[in-house]
Structure 1
Amino acid sequence: MALNIFDLLIYLVAKACVVAHEDGNDPSYGSQWLLYMDESGYLHEMNFSTLPLETRGFSYGKVYCYLYTRENNKQGELLVPPDDENDNIESKYFKESGDIKAITHGWLSKENTDWIQNIKNAILGVSDVNVLTVDWSELADNPVYPWSAFSTRYVGKYLAKIIRSLMKTYGVKNSRIHLIGHSLGAQVMGYAGMYSGEKIHRITGLDPARPLFELPLMDPNFRLDPSDANFVDIIHTCGGILGYRDSHGHADFYPNGGKAPQPGCGGIKDIIEGCSHGRSHEYFLESIDSDIGFDSYPCEDWKEFKRGECRNDPAMMGYPADNHRVGDFFLYTNNHSKYAVGSE
Structure 2
Amino acid sequence: MKLFILFLAFTALECIPIGDKNIRVDEHLPDQRDVLLTQNEKGEYRVMDLKDVRLQKSASVADIYYYVYTQKNKETPYVVGNNDVSELEFSDFNPKKRTVFIIHGWENDHTSLVNSLVKEALLDTVDVNVIVVDWGSLANRNYFTARFSVRSIGQFVGHFINDITKKYKTSFKNIVMVGHSLGAHVAGAAGANTEQKVDYIVGLDPAAPLFTLHNIDDRLDTTDADFVEVIHTSAGRLGFSSPIGHADYYPNGGASQPGCILDITASCAHSRSYMYFAESIKDKVREFKAYKCDSYAHYKEGKCNGSVSPMGEFTVNKNASGTYYLKTKAKLPYAEDYKNAARQ
Could you state the TM-score of these two structures normalised by the residue count of structure 2? 0.82
Q: Pick from 182, 185, 189: which aligns with 2:187? A: 189
Gap regions ≥5 residues in structure 2: 1-5, 10-15, 26-34
Structure 1 partner of 2:28: none
Structure 2 partner of 1:74: 75
Structure 2 partner of 1:266: 261
TM-aligned CA deviation for residue 92 of structure 1 = 2.7
Q: Deviations over 1:232-264 (max 9, x none)?
A: 00000000110001000000000000002x100
Structure 2 partner of 1:93: 92
After alignment, is 170-179 or 251-260 more displaced?
170-179
RMSD: 3.0
Higher helix share: 1
Give the distance between the partners of 1:102 and 1:298, measured in 2 at CA: 28
Q: State the SS of the aligned residue for 1:210.
A: coil
Structure 1 partner of 2:290: 296
Q: State the SS of the aligned residue for 1:258.
A: coil
Does the 8 Å contact 1:183/1:243 carry over to 2? Answer: yes
Higher strand share: 2
Does the 8 Å contact 1:295/1:314 carry over to 2? Answer: yes
Which amino acid counterpart does residue 205 of structure 1 have in structure 2? G
Matched, 1:257 2:250: no
TM-aligned CA deviation for residue 135 of structure 1 = 0.7
Structure 2 partner of 1:7: none
Instruction: Say which structure, 1 or 2, has more relative contact order (CA 8 Å, 6+ apart).
Output: 2
Give the distance between the partners of 1:173 and 1:82, measured in 2 at CA: 19
Matched, 1:234 2:234: no
Give the distance between the partners of 1:202 and 1:162, measured in 2 at CA: 17
Q: Deviations over 1:93-128 (max 9, x none)?
A: 111221010101100111111331121111011111
When residues 190 and 44 of structure 1 are mapped into structure 2, their CA distance, relative to the original with a 3 A threshold, is farther
Structure 1 partner of 2:169: 171
Structure 1 partner of 2:42: 40
Give the distance between the partners of 2:104 and 2:47, measured in 1 at CA: 19
Q: Pick from 176, 180, 183: which aligns with 2:178? A: 180
Which amino acid counterpart does residue 103 of structure 2 have in structure 1? T
Could you state the TM-score of these two structures normalised by the residue count of structure 1? 0.82
How many pairs were matched up?
A: 311
Give the distance between the partners of 2:119 and 2:174, measured in 1 at CA: 17
Which amino acid counterpart does residue 80 of structure 2 have in structure 1? L
TM-aligned CA deviation for residue 219 of structure 1 = 1.3
Which amino acid counterpart does residue 338 of structure 1 have in structure 2? P
Give the distance between the partners of 2:174 and 2:304, measured in 1 at CA: 33
